[in-house]
Amino acid sequence: MKEIKNIVRSRAQESSSAVEKLYITMRHLFNRGFYKPMGVSGETLREALLQLRPEIYGTIADEKVELNGLLYVIERLPVGIEECRFINLTSDEGYSKSHFKAIVPPKRRRNCYRIDDEQMNVEITRGRSDIYDILTHLTFIFIESHKIKSRVLLDESGEVSRDWLKLEQAILQPKKLIQADKEKAISHAANILGRTFAEVSDIYD
């Protein structure tokens, strides 16, 4: 019984330490005004998130890609944000009166604007809680993307796996996929994600 208590206390201490790291790092980012996922701050955020392992991000610490966590995050971030190298968190700067079309995530009422191929602007309406929300979501996506990269890239020259090439072919098809082709694509995606065919099918549906 005593041993169990020690384990629980240790996990609680780890979580407390991770929360403190997240808080300090984000305060630092507020003051600095920018964030690089591959920089020192980005590494600290990744380590803290992996240590904290929030329930909404599921099995973030596992080698397999966390499907439910990705679905949760995707529904709360604007479509296309994963393609952008530059993400600006702004107040309401009047984009609603411009030609830019607002992109509103399905599960978050916030206006986002795709400025160009590389940049997405996200309007912050709830202050720091919004910023915490977005930064942790982006950090989670970054962690999961590296899991995928490790399964797809075969070497430093950029050669990719057969599964990736087959999935790319399916995605680039101009016509709607028939059921058989759809299931082939899901099979390749499952190999890339390290998940079963059934798990990926459930998420897809």
pLDDT tier for residue 4 given thresholds of 50, 70 and 90 = low
Q: Is the pLDDT of residue 36 over 90?
A: no
Bridge-partner residues for 88, per DSSP?
Answer: 121
Q: Is the pLDDT of residue 6 over 60?
A: no
What are the pLDDT digits (tens) for 99-153? 999 999 998 889 999 999 999 999 988 877 888 888 889 889 988 998 999 999 9
Question: Are 35 and 41 a contacting pair, CB within 8 Å?
Answer: yes
Task: Please give the model's pTM, rounded to 2 decimal places.
Answer: 0.80
Domain ranges of the chain: 2-152, 158-205
3-state secondary structure of 13: helix
- Cα 100 from chain centre: 24
- % of the chain beyond a pLDDT of 90: 47
Q: What value does the CA radius of gyration of the chain take, rounded to a whole number of Å? A: 19
**What is the overall mean pLDDT for the chain?**
86
Query: Per-residue DSSP letters for 86-126?
Result: EEEEE---SGGGSSPPEE--TTS---EEE-SSSEEEEE--S
Structure confidence at residue 60 (pLDDT):
84
pLDDT tier for residue 48 given thresholds of 50, 70 and 90 = confident
